[in-house]
Every structure is written in structure tokens, then in C-alpha cells.
Amino acid sequence: MLKNVLASVLDAEEAAQVYSAFDQVGDIVVIKIPDGLAGKKTVIAQAILANVKTAKAVFAQASAVRGDFRVRDLEFLAGENRTVTEYKEHGCRFKVDVARAYFSPRLSTERQRIASLVGEGETIVNMFAGVGTYSIIIAKANKTCRVYSIDSNPVANELCIENARLNKVSDRVIPVCADATSAIRDQLTGVADRVLMPLPERAKEFIAPAVAALKEKGVVHYFAHVRADSKKHAKELGEKDAHEAFKDYEHDVTETTVVREVGPRVYQIVADVTVTKA
Ligand SMILES: C[S@@+](CC[C@H](N)C(=O)[O-])C[C@H]1O[C@@H](n2cnc3c(N)ncnc32)[C@H](O)[C@@H]1O
């Protein structure tokens, strides 16, 4: 459908470029305008708004995702000039601010996969929780677990508090607004059966606090980016990368999943690493 919408204002090659970088979060659409199409950005945005019934606002990415908070600059193009919306996934509702806190609709399968691995009564530490997506989906699917949801971005933390309330899991999703290393050192050492590290660009810097958060034995979901020429190769390299990252600890990589391609020949992987502490 979107391809047809774009085809009405662009040629086939141009339409394909815009189509491949189109995200819709709730009623907000974020597109990437290739340099050569800057002159057509308003016409593209208006075509989207007129034809995608669920879209109320269209923004263009004005920078890459960057900084500690992993947010990007957005340029308003058409519709309502607001960046807050509501997004639904796996029976959960999330209030999201597409400009001020990280959020990606492209991780939904992985969130479901991790939620399905959680056992009875687990304590989980999500080191980079954002607006609470993984934490809340896990808590909603597993009524006996508790999830500490750390994020250093105060906007993400506030949204996580609100989202936990919206989804009625405030009693078991505990937001912590802090740097993950400090939060684990100060209050979460040795508490976790499972640790999530969804900060692929920098997860390697946080291996020691992730292991510190675990009980004597537990699982770390280690996210990373690897350069590879195929998905199969990415899986092999991801497993190797995880072994390297946890080489100082007794560990086993039980599964490596290729989550998505994030750039030309760059893949996001997640390795499930069981760690046994001496
Ligand atoms: C890639 S986002 C992932 C967010 C969320 N898990 C999701 O998938 O929607 C990484 C998050 O880590 C947070 N962050 C970055 N450095 C951090 C640190 N040192 N301690 C705690 N949170 C941090 C950012 O603010 C951002 O919200």
C-alpha cells in the first residue's frame, strides 16, 4: 500500500529508498529522506498523511541515532506537530516519545522470544530499559517475575513508570533512573536470574556489571553489532563475539539470534549466555 502511495509522487527507485526506511510508531510516521529527495520531502509526507489512515504526523530523521540516550533529531514535515504517541505490541500499550527516548518497533519478535524464556519467580535486571518495552512484555507474560528496569534517560524512565501503570505491572516492574553500572553496584548486586543488555553499540563495556547483577548462576542476553556478509555469517560471528566478551567468566553461549540488519552488512545479534560465578 505504502509503495503505491509513494509511487504516486516518486519514481520506482526513489520510492524503494523511502520505503526501506519507513517506521510507523502509533500514529506517527518517521521516514528517512535520501539526500537527492530533499526537495520532495513535503510532498512525500503529505502523500503519506493523505493515504495512510492511521498516520497523524510525519517526521523525517534529521540525524542518526546518537548519544548515550540513543535518540535522533527529527524534522517535522506534516500533520500534527507532536512526538508523543501510543504504541501497542503483544497485548501491551506503550506511551512513546519518538524524539526524546529510544524506541524501535523493529524489535518486537525479539521481545516476545525473551519473554518466552523466562521461568517461574525470576528476578530480571534490564540494564537499558528505555520506555520499558522488554520489561513490561516480560512482566505481562510471566506473572511471577519481577523486573528492575534501569535507564539513565529521565524521559525514558518517566515513560517506563507510566507504561508499567498503563499495563498494570507497576508492582513487578521497578524503574530505576540511573547509570546501569552504578545502579547494579549500589542496589542490584547478586539479585538476578536473568540480565538484559539491549545496548548493542556499547554492551561490551558493561560485561562486569551484568555479571555482578547475577546470582551464582544466570543468563545474560548480550546484544551486539557484528559486520558480516550474510545472516548465517552474522550468527557465527555473534557467537564468537559473545565468547570473547565473557571470556573472563565460566560461561556457555546457548543460542545466538540474528535480530535484524541495521546497516549495509551490519547485523544486530543477541547471544543468550549462561554464566556460572565461581
Ligand atoms: C538502544 S536503547 C534500548 C531501549 C529499550 N530496551 C528498547 O528496546 O526499546 C538503549 C537505552 O539505554 C539507555 N542507556 C544508555 N547508556 C546507559 C547507561 N550507562 N545506564 C543506563 N541506561 C543507559 C539509553 O537511554 C536508552 O534508552
* Fold of the 2-82 domain: GMP Synthetase; Chain A, domain 3 (3.30.300)
> What is the C-alpha to C-alpha distance for residues 23 and 19, in angstroms, rounded to an integer?
9
Exposed, middle or buried, 159 (CB in 10 Å: 0-12/13-18/19+)? buried
Strand partners, 222: 197, 271
| pLDDT score, position 276 | 98
Contact 129, 60 (CB under 8 A): no
Overall average pLDDT of the 131-145 stretch: 97
Question: Would you kindly state where each structural domain of the chain is located, as residue ranges?
Answer: 2-82, 99-276
From the alpha carbon of 104, which atom of ligand 1 is closest?
A: 9
Question: Is pLDDT at 177 greater than 70 in this prediction?
Answer: yes
User: What's the pLDDT score for residue 19?
Assistant: 66
Nearest atom in ligand 1 to 151's CA: 22
Rg over alpha carbons for the chain, rounded to the nearest Å, is 20
Any idea which architecture 99-276 has in CATH? 3-Layer(aba) Sandwich (3.40)
Q: Model confidence at 1, in pLDDT bands (50, 70, 90)?
A: low
Q: Give yes or no for residue 113 having a pLDDT over 90.
A: yes
Burial class (CB in 10 A: 0-12, 13-18, 19+), 35: exposed
Q: Spell out which residues line ligand 1, taking CB within 6 angstroms.
A: 68-70, 102-104, 107, 128-130, 133-134, 150-153, 156, 179-180, 198-199
What's the confidence (pLDDT) of residue 263? Answer: 87
For residue range 203-219, list pLDDT tens digits in order: 999 999 999 999 999 99
CA 130 / ligand 1 centre spacing (Å):
5
- For ligand 1, atom 4, name the residue with the nearest CA: 130
Contact call for residues 23 and 105 (beta carbons, < 8 A):
yes
With beta carbons less than 8 A apart as the criterion, state whether 272 and 221 touch. yes
Mutate to test the pocket of ligand 1, among 94, 199, 204 (most ligand atoms within 8 A of CB): 199
